[in-house]
Amino acid sequence: MTAKSETEVSVFVDGVLRYFDTTVQQTADCGTPYLALNDSPEISDYTGMIRISGRRDGVVCFTAPRTMLCVMLMRMQETDMSHDNLCDLVGEIANTLSGNARRDFGPQFKISVPSVVHGRSNAVPYPPNARPIVIPITWRTYHARLVVCLN
Amino acid sequence: MPTTHTPRLSLSQGSLHRLMVVDDSNIIRRRIERVQDLPEIEFVGAARNGREALEMHRQLRPTLVTMDLTMPEMDGGDCVARLVERDPQILILVISALADKMTAIDAIEKGARGFLCKPFTDRQLNNALRKLIE
């Protein structure tokens, strides 16, 4: 990873930590980010995707298991654990982490409304020739990932 | 579905603010409704995007609005401008993940009265609403 991409990754790591501290009021841990070995890193039960355009082009994804999202909703005092609300949550997390990155990347880092993939067998449309960077996230006993893939 | 509530108090009872929440996330809409606990504020309804908010504004006549920015159909920036055009006294708090200064300045220039960045705590939300209505 280059120094530039390390700096960019640290923006997203800070965003993840801030999100968990603020929203579920419990600290999450981010593991060592790594470059994905293949073009499309494995995804979990629910994946929220934000398309990035403007000065940068790419995708930011937050992917997490169903149980983790349910516990997050409980911590937020939300009683509706429906499929729609789980989709809503992963989309909102991806949106928040991408939007917060504009603090460092500026207003030319344009973000789309979220889209959501349900199921582990689906593929995320990463831009060609870009290597996704995977940020492992541990919260309580659960494991999620933030995947940042920017040209 | 958009939600509407019948206020417990009427506007004639003084300083009551009628709150409409606009956000494409159901979780955020419900959270703002649940968490806001100022006695001067009555939740009257929630909309999923700017277009829906403009339609609901005619019916609900909110005096206070929380507004997301990145939404489908009509984004929050356009909706802020349209609402302020209709009602220059309306109090709009933009609540967005877009954390750069230009976004906040742009929202204020369009007529928003405050800006709260996502993610937010319950206390931060209530402080921002209190500051707006004082």
Residue of higher predicted confidence among A37 and A18: A18
- What is the pLDDT confidence band of residue B70, given thresholds at 50, 70 and 90? very high
State which residues form the domain around A143: 3-150
Cβ–Cβ of A88/B26 closer than 8 Å? yes
CATH number, domain of A37, equals 3.40.1550.10
- Count CB atoms within 10 A of the CB of residue B102: 12
Q: Which fold has domain B13-133?
A: Rossmann fold (3.40.50)
Instruction: Tell whether the model's pLDDT for residue B13 goes beyond 50.
Output: no
What was the pLDDT predicted at B15? Answer: 64
Minimal-distance CA residue of chain A relative to B95: A96
Cα radius of gyration rounded to whole Å, chain B = 13
What is the arithmetic mean of pLDDT over A5-32? 92
User: What are the residue boundaries of the structural domains of chain B, listed by start?
Assistant: 13-133
State mean pLDDT over B72-80. 95
Number of folded domains that form chain A: 1
pLDDT tens for A62-109 read 999 999 999 999 999 999 999 999 999 999 999 999 999 999 989 999
pLDDT value for A5: 73
B45-60 pLDDT per residue, tens: 999 999 999 999 999 9
Q: CB B98 to CB A25 under 8 A? A: no
